[in-house]
A and B are shown apart, each in its own frame.
Chain A
Amino acid sequence: MRPPKPGRIVTFYSYKGGTGRSMALANFAWLAAANGGRVLAIDWDLEAPGLHRYFRPFLVDPDLFETDGLTDAFWALAAAALASQPSQSRFPNSLDSELIIETFENATRQLDWKFATGGIIDFIGAGRQGQTYSEAVNTFDWKRFYDLGGAAILDVIKDDLRSKYDWILIDSRTGVSDTSGICTMQMPDIVVPCFTLNRQSIEGVTAILHSIREYQKASPAGLDIKFFPLATRIENAEKTRLEMARAYARTLLAQYLPEEFKTRGREYWDTMEIAYRPAYAFEEVLAAFGDATGAAGSADTMLAQGEAVARRITGNERLRAPEIVDADRAAVLKKYALGESSNSTTCGVPDSQDTASDTDFLRGLHIKEQQWRNSGFYWRRLLSRRELDLLTDADKKAFGRNMSYYLTQSESLYRYLRIVSLSAIIIAVINFVCSVLLTDRTIFINGYYDSQGYYHSYYSNPPIVIFLIFFMIIWVISSWLWSVVISRARPYGMSPLQQFLLVLRGPLRSEVRDYLPDASQSR
């Protein structure tokens, strides 16, 4: 399944640490994959690896103790490069494209989450964490690697990755190290420099962008690197200072904006800002799970801002965060909190197989709740008797507000139906009596008793027909009256006409329904 367009390599960079660069990358990766993209996320911040923490619930080995990563891959590549030197006679041709590509594949793992659109996220960690990780990172000489032909190796890798993925995201080291140079100049098509609104950060980023531009001009290959500066950790306090800092940043960075925005700076900056949110500062959680999609006030969440940033960088105006069912969201948040890893192939199933069916059931309920809301609260979307019985008290307690409301409406539906069933009997009895009486009255008017006491009717129709006619009329009238009387008990979303029809049907209503959404009941 190859993407038709070559992928683009995006490096997220920041001059100083703590700007939320890794978080921006992780959220971008998620949104791109959720909208159908094949994404590869690479943690190139070897000295302080942290990208893997955002993906903990989706990695088999969340602490990377057993997983090879970039450091290991580059040591293997250096070994192959050294072996293929002309001075080495023993290993001719040991460095070919296949080996390079395979070495990189060795370090790649796929995240354990099924996107409905078919997108995937592959991940390359910084390296196997352990007692010798630091030594391995610090003894790797990048200059020597380049002497051995490292640049050509990286070109091979770039071409291969571009053919396999739509988005290749690199989390770069901060500052001016050799790896940060490689990440911002050798590798990318797009650089997203993240900065906070203080002088040091802004000036640092400007200098770096200038440096990249110089490199671009000097390189023979006609490099075209686009910049998408991103302002992060913005706090809405100290308004005047904030405005000054914003203005300063916008002035300095104006010349580095993408071509189409050079004259539309305001439009650019309106969507390329990420606010400081304490909840996200303390814990590494993906915004897609930290924030609820479609929740009230959702325009002002990390997720919404992440969406805006992703739209800007990908150029896809239709990019949206997918709606995640509450059960899945809760399960993943639990995994973040407990530091557990995913141990199942289906998304969001934390426990053993015994509860797999329970979780399927709960997911089904959440889907129904969403359908109920989206269909304008059509009462047939409420839960069936059986589903309500299957829910435990613990489940009910664990539900959020929307789901609890949905439950109370489902329960009120059954209360309503119970009233209707009971009252149907009473109404029937009363109707019967009334009809008899009325028919009788008409008998008095419509016939006579002869001298022997036999009754003779003026009409040829037997009285039973009259009785039935009266019965029907009284039934309809009493149903309507009764539906008005019990209208308070009806669940939300039921119109008076539907109420009336229900009461009318009375005991002819079927009781049992399957808990899968009733596809035939369309609105």
Chain B
Amino acid sequence: MSPPTFFFSHARQDREMPGKYLTRFFEDLEKKVAQVSGIDLKESTLGKIDSRIEHGNDWDSDLSQGVAQSRTFLAVLTPLYFNRVNCGKEIFVFIKRSAPLQLDRNGALVGVKNLLPIRWLSWEAYTLNTVKDGRIPAILRRIEDVPSDAGGDPDRARLIEVYRKRGLEKLVRSGRRYDQLLEMLALRIRDMPDLQPIDPIHFADASDAFAVDWQTICVPQGNCGTTGIAFAAAAVAGATPRVERGAAEVLAAPPVPSASAAPVVPHPLASIVAFYVTRRSFSRDSVPVDFADQLIALSDDGTARMDPALADLIADVHAAGAAERLTVFHAASSPALPDRPGTLINRLAELSKIGVPTMLIVDSAVWSARQSDPAVATIESVATSSAWGGMTLVAPLDGRAPPTDMPAPLVALGARLVTLPQESGPRVAALRTLFVRARGQCMQVPVEPASGARRVPLLKGVAEARP
């Protein structure tokens, strides 16, 4: 039996998060696998990690060999991972080793061997609007997301629960739980069955697993039951209501959450609901919600029909929210450019009342037709409404200059009206500060003091000691 080698696939984070925990996890895991397999790391390495490659243009022969010949593939899943071409190619080459593959009705791959996904972040990072694990691409939904099953051990079951909820990043070097989890993973890697290696494939010849059309590669499969524990959004076959479309589109339709996966809802102080006001095109999310008229569809299928500038803005808003560990909901009124302010104001006020930070994000192109459009007047009344009290953000898109002649009532809003920068980087930074500020405002939501609530103890300094 060949040594238990593993390929460590991850997305390089941006500058602010240099990934120290990731590197540390990799080293600890390699040591643990060596320990449980009785292998001396001084003689051979077991893990392959990409710590050098910037953009995949020089996909090292070492790495491509690693993917083609390692026994296990460890995919550290983060939202960034699914957007990286590198990672897509690595997964593609590895999945091909498990041929023949099948695709089930919901677009999940069946029969993938030796792939071990790691939940790096907490569960909120993987939600898509209201769908838990919605960000996990369809192809991966059937793959077990836990190191192993609990085997009836309550301690283990608890550990797995904590791991799925918190993500591994929070557990690295946190004590006993981390050691246990490492051991579980190491044993799983050691006990992985052998997988047929293939010849290394050059970077240019590999396709991006997240972008390629798997229908052409796999044979669609009929009824197949779910196997083991997999990602929450994997719909149970046969129990899924699907939007009826053409046959070719059926397989590509995003899965609707099954009855067992409870929808994610906005949580006071821990979520942001952003209402977009724009003329640009987007598609509606298929899940109805009670806190907004409609949610903007963010799945792959939905963004295909979205205006690219709007898509960039939404991506920035989401990134800012994720950086502050807030779940972001991208909502709009119906129609997106409301003709009457009442409903929208009610929605915003409702959310604010329960303490959910809300924002109104207005596409600055809306002001191009100010004179004639009644919608513009609606926006003004929403933004200046006292029932709501939140911030309005003006987003110049498509390289337009921000509007210079804002109507007087909007200008009088002062800090409640903010113009966002055009570039993505400064925009995310500005959004982050605004989100935190909004959250702080929401903490001031009037509450009745809880029964038996005490007062903050205050120290008395020297000044108060004087009579």
A interface residues, Cβ below 8 angstroms from B: 15, 60-61, 65-66, 68, 72, 75-76, 78-79, 82-83, 85-88, 90-91, 102, 105-106, 108-110, 112, 120, 122, 130-132, 135-136, 138-144, 146-152, 175-176, 178, 180-182, 184-186, 203-204, 207-208, 210-212, 214-215, 341, 343-345, 353-354, 356-357
Contacts and interface: CB of A to CB of B under 8 A. Distances in A.
Interface in B339-362: 354-355
Contacts of B459: 176, 180-181, 184-185, 208, 211-212
Interface in B432-467: 432-433, 435-437, 439-441, 443-445, 447-450, 452-462, 464-465
Instruction: Return the 6 tightest CB-CB contacts between A and B, nearest first.
Output: A139-B440, A79-B269, A185-B457, A149-B450, A211-B460, A151-B454
A60 B42 contact: no
Interface residues of B, number: 60
Given A65-B17, A90-B354, A91-B267, A353 B42 contact: yes
A152 B456 contact: no
B380 interface: no
Contacts of B447: 82, 85, 87, 144, 147-148
B16 A148 contact: no
A207 B21 contact: no
Nearest to A90: B265
Given A66-B17, A175-B461, A144 B444 contact: yes
Contacts, number: 173
A112 B24 CA distance: 12
B429 interface: yes
A135 B461 contact: no
A181 B433 contact: no
B18 interface: yes
Contact of A88 (B20, B162, B323, B354): B354
B429 A60 contact: no
B225 interface: no
Contact of B453 (A136, A148, A210): A148
Interface string B21-59: 101100110010000000001100000000000000000
Contacts of A87: 354, 447-448
B170 interface: yes
Contacts of A105: 174
Contacts of A151: 453-454
Given A91-B268, A132-B432, 11 more contacts: A60-B21, A66-B17, A75-B270, A82-B447, A85-B447, A85-B448, A130-B323, A144-B443, A185-B457, A208-B461, A211-B464
8 contacts: A66-B21, A66-B169, A144-B443, A146-B453, A175-B461, A176-B460, A178-B456, A186-B457
B461 A88 contact: no
Contacts of A140: 440, 443
Task: Report which residue of A90, A184, A341 has the largest number of chain B beta carbons within 10 angstroms of its beta carbon.
Answer: A90
A112 B429 CA distance: 33
A139 B267 contact: no
Given A60-B20, A75-B439, A112 B460 contact: no
A132 B16 CA distance: 12
B464 A207 contact: yes
Contact of A203 (B24, B162, B452, B462): B462
B62 interface: no
B437 A345 contact: no
Interface in B98-134: none
Nearest to B169: A66
B60 interface: no
B460 A207 contact: yes
B162 to A, nearest CB: 8
A215 B458 CA distance: 9
B19 to A, nearest CB: 8
A353 B44 CA distance: 11
Which of A108, A146, A356 has the most chain B CB atoms inside 10 A of its CB? A146
Contacts of A88: 268, 354-355
Contact of A141 (B19, B41, B443): B443
Contact of A65 (B18, B324, B454): B18
B399 interface: no
Contact of B445 (A75, A82, A210): A82
Contacts of B172: 60, 109
A102 B174 CA distance: 12
A83 B444 CA distance: 14
Contacts of A136: 436
A79 B267 contact: yes
Nearest to B320: A132
Chain B CB within 10 Å, residue with most, of A108, A147, A186, A208: A147
Contacts of A132: 324, 432-433, 435-436
A83 B175 CA distance: 30
A447 B20 CA distance: 93
A141 B453 contact: no
A110 B175 contact: yes
Contacts of B452: 152
Contacts of B23: 343
Nearest to B450: A149
A110 B179 CA distance: 12
B325 interface: yes
A151 to B, nearest CB: 4
Contacts of A85: 447-448, 450
B96 interface: no
A61 to B, nearest CB: 5
B448 A110 contact: no
Interface centre among A144, A180, A212 (most CB of B within 10 A): A144
B202 interface: no
Contacts of B279: none
B174 A75 contact: no
Contacts of A102: 162, 166
Interface string B173-184: 111000000000
Nearest to B429: A131
Contacts of B175: 108, 110, 120, 122
A208 B464 CA distance: 10
B24 A82 contact: no
Contacts of B462: 203-204, 207
A345 B31 contact: yes
B467 to A, nearest CB: 13
Nearest to A180: B459
Contacts of B457: 181-182, 184-186, 215
B270 A130 contact: no
A60 B19 CA distance: 10
Contacts of A68: 170, 325
Given A66-B20, A78-B269, A149 B325 contact: no
A186 B454 CA distance: 10
A247 B456 CA distance: 35
A113 to B, nearest CB: 11
A188 B331 CA distance: 46
B174 A108 contact: yes
A425 B441 CA distance: 94
A343 B24 contact: yes
B268 A82 contact: yes
Contacts of A147: 447, 449-450, 453
Contacts of A214: 460
Given A136-B436, A147-B449, A343 B27 contact: yes
Nearest to B162: A102
A322 B42 CA distance: 31
Contacts of B41: 353
A135 B437 contact: yes
B352 to A, nearest CB: 12
Contacts of B458: 176, 178, 181
Nearest to A146: B456
A148 B454 CA distance: 9
Contacts of B437: 135, 139
A105 B56 CA distance: 38
A66 B464 CA distance: 41
Interface in B257-307: 265, 267-270
A185 B458 CA distance: 8
